[in-house]
Amino acid sequence: AQTVTQSQPEMSVQEAETVTLSCTYDTSESDYYLFWYKQPPSRQMILVIRQEAYKQQNATENRFSVNFQKAAKSFSLKISDSQLGDAAMYFCAYTSNYGQNFVFGPGTRLSVLP
């Protein structure tokens, strides 16, 4: 069965600085999708970024980028120029090519210090 691990339960970053959240996963499949979701205090789940495993190029969305290392099964999220609004729980998630089930990691709580 696929598993997703986030080894950092909590992280903090100074406003305007850069922070990297770690995620590793375990799968025997070669084609899949990886996601980072953000859950602010409102508890609304918001998609931050998405990566397709067959694409070697790392995904980027404005201040958010990933470092996707397929061989190492690693998928870290880098947040540049951190803002107070980035404070939230961040969940790494995996789904196979068929997308029938998402597997979520336990989450990393990010605090942004003014």
Partner 1 sequence: DGGITQSPKYLFRKEGQNVTLSCEQNLNHDAMYWYRQDPGQGLRLIYYSQIVNDFQKGDIAEGYSVSREKKESFPLTVTSAQKNPTAFYLCATQLRGATNEKLFFGSGTQLSVL
Q: Applying CB under 8 A, which residues contact partner 1?
A: 4, 9, 33, 35, 42-45, 47, 50, 91, 95, 99-102, 104-107
Residue with Cβ nearer partner 1 (15 or 54): 54
For the bound state, the minimum distance from the C-beta of residue 75 to partner 1, rounded and expressed in Å, comes to 15
DSSP string, 30-87: SSEEEEEEEE-TT---EEEEEEETT--SPPEETTEEEEEETTTTEEEEEE-S--GGG-
Residue with Cβ nearer partner 1 (42 or 114): 42
Residue with Cβ nearer partner 1 (53 or 112): 53
d(CA 81, CA 63): 7
